[in-house]
A and B are shown apart, each in its own frame.
Chain A
Amino acid sequence: MSLIHEGEKPIFQQIRETIEDAILDGTLQAEDRIPSINEFAKQYQINPATANKGVNELVEKAVIYKKRGVGMYVSAEAKQILIQERKERFEQSFLLPLVHEANRLGITVEELQMMLGRVSK
């Protein structure tokens, strides 16, 4: 896992997304233990409160659950929850900017569909 420190997102958000991505691509499976807050803090040289914020947002979404005194684990439903959430955001985050730029360049919907067909092969 590596973060782009110069990134355009707050660091706690980057931490959250790093864990999410690891769950989505299978690096972290259901019931896997995730690193502790202090391990995250140390790894990324950030204040533990900042790491905690990123991780806690995933606890709130039930993507991660805590076992008292033991650690934090990926929930059984984690991947499903994340896929659902990312799908809902897909249009806003990916399609709208794509269409926006296409409009600016005068690319028609038909041309877009052709390009899409080409790159998804």
Chain B
Amino acid sequence: MKIVVEQVSKKYKDKVAIDNLSFEIEGPAIVGFLGHNGAGKTTLLNIFASLISATSGKVLINGEEVFDNTNAMKQICFIAETDNFFNQLTISQLFKSNQLFYENWDQEYASQLLNRFKLNEKLKIKNLSKGMTSALGIIMGLACRTPIVIFDEPYIGLDAASRSLFYDLLLEEYTENPRLFIMSTHLIDEVADLFNEVIILQEGKLLLKDSYMNIQQKLFKVKGKKQDVESFINGKKVIHHSSFLNEVHALVKLNNQEAAQLKTHSVLSFEPIKLQELMILLSKQYREEI
């Protein structure tokens, strides 16, 4: 389960949506795919799923170029934010067509999931509420059993209880049938602990790609009196720096050695940074640099 992105760009008339991106994603993993609106997330995910073509560069799925390649497409289940299904179908009709396309579609599991989300298979898709439609997308992504599943903002209209059910099911499925799940979301801190890899895009470029473990172990918010903070961060990589009254806050990225030496400190406080705040600070730093 490997996606290789090689110098991919996507240009629209007057806008560069994806700007010469190169990176690799390897599964099994749950990957958080983050960025502000307009960062290029959906565009890139659409290219992964072969729904649109890149202007230049290529995307390889397990070594095969994805565009116009049915074999590669069958390895990916892409659930978009909306408009995933033909409106006129009933849920059971949709499941029948899924069975034809996805070789490993698990009908029994899909029926169980319908029960969990309290959906009736006789319902027509056009009559479903927003939340129900999102639930149906989630069910499809889990039951398709493809090596790669992409959820692009999967939960419009889903309430907190249903989202929590989704996280439980996703973990269960990931443990029992390990594969590559890629998820874009704006509810970052709610799902952050599910990730083992994080990718952040900004203006079509890669702002960050790292393991969640690394982020938790190496990025810290340091708080304390000015002179104490300054002497600690001296020589270290500082991503963000601010002060209020006599207190200075600094976001530092420690290297392996510095992280290993980090102990409780009597005059400084250390906190791991939340993913959402990290994204905001990185993007601020990015904008200041250009």
Contact = CB atoms under 8 A, between A and B. Distances in A.
Interface of A: 5, 8-12, 38, 41-42, 44-50, 53, 89, 92-93, 96-97, 100
B272 A10 contact: yes
A43 to B, nearest CB: 10
A50 B196 contact: yes
Interface in B23-59: 30
A45 B266 contact: no
B174 interface: yes
Main secondary structure of the interface of B (DSSP, over half): helix
B48 to A, nearest CB: 21
B210 interface: no
B171 A41 contact: yes
7 closest A-B pairs by beta carbon, nearest first, are A96-B266, A10-B216, A46-B193, A49-B196, A10-B272, A47-B196, A93-B264
Interface in B157-212: 164, 167-168, 171-172, 174-175, 193-196, 212
Contacts of A41: 171, 175
B16 interface: no
Contacts of A100: 266-267
A8 B271 contact: yes
A11 B212 CA distance: 11
Contacts of A45: 164, 167-168, 171, 193-194
Given A42-B171, A45-B171, A50-B213, A9 B193 contact: no
Nearest to A45: B167
A8 B267 CA distance: 16
B13 interface: no
B92 interface: no
Interface of B: 30, 164, 167-168, 171-172, 174-175, 193-196, 212-213, 216-217, 263-264, 266-267, 269-272
- Dominant secondary structure at the A interface: helix
Contacts of B263: 92
Contacts of A46: 193-194
B31 to A, nearest CB: 10
A82 B30 CA distance: 33
B188 to A, nearest CB: 14
A37 B58 CA distance: 37
Nearest to B271: A8
Given A41-B175, A46-B193, A12 B264 contact: no
Contacts of A49: 196, 212-213
Contact of B172 (A42, A89, A92, A96): A42
26 contacts: A5-B193, A8-B269, A8-B270, A8-B271, A8-B272, A9-B272, A10-B216, A11-B193, A11-B216, A41-B171, A42-B168, A42-B172, A44-B193, A45-B164, A45-B167, A45-B168, A45-B193, A47-B30, A47-B171, A47-B196, A48-B174, A49-B212, A50-B193, A50-B216, A92-B266, A100-B267
A64 B216 CA distance: 23
A44 B175 CA distance: 14
A53 B213 CA distance: 8
Nearest to B263: A92
Contacts of B213: 12, 49-50, 53
A50 B212 contact: yes
Nearest to B174: A48
Contact of B212 (A47, A89, A92): A47
Given A45-B194, A50-B212, A92-B266, 19 more contacts: A8-B269, A8-B272, A10-B216, A10-B217, A10-B272, A12-B213, A38-B175, A44-B193, A45-B164, A45-B167, A45-B168, A45-B193, A47-B171, A48-B171, A49-B213, A50-B193, A50-B213, A53-B213, A96-B266
